[in-house]
Each structure stands twice: as C-alpha cells, then as structure tokens.
Amino acid sequence: MLFDTHTHLDAAQFDEDREEVIARALEQGVSRMINIGFNRETIPTTMELAEKYDFIYAAVGWHPQDAVTMRPEDLDWIAELCRHDKVVAIGEIGLDYYWDTSPQDVQQSVFRQQIGLARNLQMPIVIHNRDAHADVVRILREEHAEEVGGVMHCFSGSWEIAKQCLDLGFYISFGGPITYKNAKQPKEVLSQVPLDRLLIETDSPYLTPHPFRGIRNETGYVRLVAEAAAALKGLELEELSKITFQNALNCFRFD
C-alpha cells in the first residue's frame, strides 16, 4: 500500500508505454497517486488521467517556471477545476530561482495569488521550492498559508527551513534523492521530520532513485523511496508505507 503523492504520468516521456508504467506501479503496490498539472499544457492532460483511472487524483496550479504565462483567466480556470471530485490540491506552486525562466517578482506574485485562491477555496497546496527557501517560507507566512496547509514537495532545504514549514502545518515530502549515497542533507532532515508529517513521492519522470539513477523515473519506484525512508526511520517497509499512506489521506483530505 504505497501512495505516490507527486508524479507527472502525463509527461511525453511516457507516451510510448504509459499503460505499462501504470500497470507496473500497481504491481509494486502503489494504489494511489496524485498527478500534477502545472501549466496550460499539463493541466488538461492531468485531468484526462484523473478521469480515466480511479486511483489517479489531480493537483492543478501554475508552476513558478511558467509564472510569466499565467493570465487572470487561468486563475479562474484553476478555481473551476477545484470543484472536480478528483482534484485534491492546488499545485505545484512556489518559487524556482534555479531555472531563470520567469522573473522573481512575477513568480512571487503568481505564488501569492494562488495561495489566496487556495485559502478562498480551502484547498491544500503543493509547494515547489528550488533555491528559494527563505522567500518561500516568508511568503507562506505573509499569505497565511497555514490556513490551508499542504506539502513541501521533494524537500531539499535544511532542518531549520523544514521546522518552519512544519510550524506552518505543512507535510514534508521526499523523493529519489534520499536514496543517493552523497545526499546527506535530505537524509538528515528526513530522520528528524515527525512520522506523522512525512510523505513520499517520485516526481517521475525526474529524480530517479538509486539504482536506476540516470534513466527515466516512474511511479513504481516510489517503493525504493519508501525503502530508503523506512531504513532511515528504523521501520519495516510495511509500517512506513502504512503511515505515509495515512498521512497523504490526511494531507489531501480524503474522507
């Protein structure tokens, strides 16, 4: 019983064998997944997957890398989709100072607008944060994101930052990097995150776990992430899977 809380199964990398990738995930025990639609192209393809498979849910939002392309009517579009049964969160939203595809002030404005929308609709949010830790936390605080909560996806910050996100009521999610030998920080942070706030994900097709690093990631590999997390927490795989599954149900408010 595994829950991949962050995947991109609609990505072109899966066009040749999407059905098989999904079948392999089910064989690995992944019984629920959230596909993330993050711009004009991937929101419709995410909704198609969520409508086709009962175990695939959707998050919809505007990615910081695409911030410059968001128009006011896109916010209305996201709001309307949030009424859909299978849409469980707004995201991924946040800040990305690594890829220079949208100016930082535009990213921040688009981020703030979507936190506001999430508060209006009482939807949890999925946060993407790359090299922008201080600004992400500051904006979450200024915009009162603690009213809705959500998840810090594929968390790569320090324990200091993690603690501030936990204080705001957020869950902390880890992916492939916790399986890498030289990834000290995410392993240390994971060890300290309280068990009832821990989530796992793949972010496939990116961030492939060891020993498949270098090739395409897929949702079934969330099992490798769960194994690494279990080892770091000193738990059996089954126990870790059960806890993180329940956490995902709580985070995304499944009944």
Q: Are strands 30-37 and 2-7 parallel, antiparallel or unpaired?
A: parallel
C-alpha of 98 from chain center? 18
Show the site string, 91-110: x = touches Zn ion by CB under 5 A, - = not. Answer: -x------------------
Smallest gap from residue 239 Cβ to Zn ion (A): 27
Smallest gap from residue 236 Cβ to Zn ion (A): 29
Smallest gap from residue 207 Cβ to Zn ion (A): 9
Task: Name the residue number minimizing CB distance to Zn ion.
Answer: 128
Residues 114-133 that bind Zn ion (CB under 5 A): 128
Count of residues binding Zn ion (CB under 5 A)? Answer: 4
Smallest gap from residue 243 Cβ to Zn ion (A): 23
Show the site string, 128-167: x = touches Zn ion by CB under 5 A, - = not. Answer: x---------------------------------------
Smallest gap from residue 158 Cβ to Zn ion (A): 18
Identify which of residues 66 and 92 has a Cβ nearer to Zn ion in the complex. Answer: 92
Q: Rounded to an integer, what distance in angstroms lies between the CA atom of residue 6 and that of residue 244?
A: 13
Query: Which letter does DSSP use for residue 204 in this model?
Result: B
Contacts of 37 (CB under 8 A, 6+ apart): 10, 43, 44, 45, 46, 47, 58, 59, 60, 61
Smallest gap from residue 59 Cβ to Zn ion (A): 9
**With binding defined as CB under 5 A, does residue 111 bind Zn ion?**
no
Q: ω before 211 within 30° of 0 (cis)?
A: yes
Show the site string, 2-41: x = touches Zn ion by CB under 5 A, - = not. Answer: ----------------------------------x-----
Give the alpha-carbon dihedral of 182, 187, 189, 191, to 10 degrees. Answer: -150
Q: Rounded to an integer, what distance in angstroms lies between the CA atom of residue 126 and that of residue 36?
A: 9
Q: Rounded to an integer, what distance in angstroms lies between the CA atom of residue 54 and that of residue 96?
A: 32
- The CB density around residue 173, as the number of other CB atoms within 10 Å, is 28
Residues within the interface to Zn ion (CB under 5 A): 36, 92, 128, 203
